[in-house]
Structure 1
Amino acid sequence: MGHRSTPELPALLARIAAKTGAGVVRSIRVLAPGAPAFVTGTTGARTVAAEGTAAAETPCEPSAGYQRAVAACRASKPDRRPAPAIREAVERQNRALADHREPEGAFREVLTYEEGLREKTVRRRSDEAHRLALRRAREEMRRVEPADHHRQLRGCGRLGGRQRSRVMNDVLHTVAGAVR
């Protein structure tokens, strides 16, 4: 609930009295944030600070039944620590593994070789993709009407074979660039 102003308190008190009975709640006191609360006990009203300093001043002794229950629970709880013999065996195994471990640089040549293989594979895949793109571009050029190719080449006049192949290569690279 948010902060209630004073005119709403009587209406709130009437609703509480209607739900719980007339003598249960007699008054409502709105406190400022962080202010100590008032607790009513059997001996009368006493104040307890918000931080619980009053509770710390008077320690509460737990009942004998509670103490027996806690003691029984602690007694039945198994010890989770490993036995000394097991700890020693684990330490021996760890030392043996550390003693027989390969040095850091023992496989450097193999790692370098593997890295070279990875680079070659990437390069090979890239070259293969380029070849496939060129092949696809050539196939698409073949599927296009021959008149379209002649229109592209017609502006060049009568070219020799070498010049015509240069123009075709330019056209192929343009198409291959669009395919990528």
Structure 2
Amino acid sequence: MKYQTLSLLFLMSLLGCDSSTTTVEDVSDKVEVDSSVRPEKVKSPPEFLDPVYRPVIVNMENLQAGSSSSTRFSPQKTSANTTVTHGATLGTGQPDESVKVTWTYLKTDEQGDHYHFEKTKIDKSSQQKMMSKEIQYTGKKQLIFEDDFQRTWISPAPVEKAEPDRN
């Protein structure tokens, strides 16, 4: 018994226990404990929204020759680490020179649908000049690139009417 008392006193001195320490029985009488369980709100990773504005048309206009190239597409929500790139090429009116425009749908948020566009000018000497631009598309005709030869737009595609069944 003497050995146990000495051990207890030794532990109390190590732990800093003194006469002002409240025992467990005393705490339960003085403190109200809220025993209800409240689940914590865990922030989940943001989910990407489906594209709001679809289908759309990307139109490349050759200002000097009067020709154009239009591509109609419907952007789709992609899975993680996946991108889908679209593209079109149009001559500039100069011999052996063309412009390639590619675009990728990135995401949709409160500001609109986000796209990344790249324009590459290719000439006969194989020199490439590249420009890139990220836009927020809000469903209205929007100018992407413009120079002395070409203009590139994104705009809403006209809604196609379904033909009635003829049965």
More strand by share: 2
TM-score (norm 2): 0.22
TM-score (norm 1): 0.21
Which structure has the larger Rg? 1
Q: Which has the higher contact order (CA 8 A, sep 6+)?
A: 2
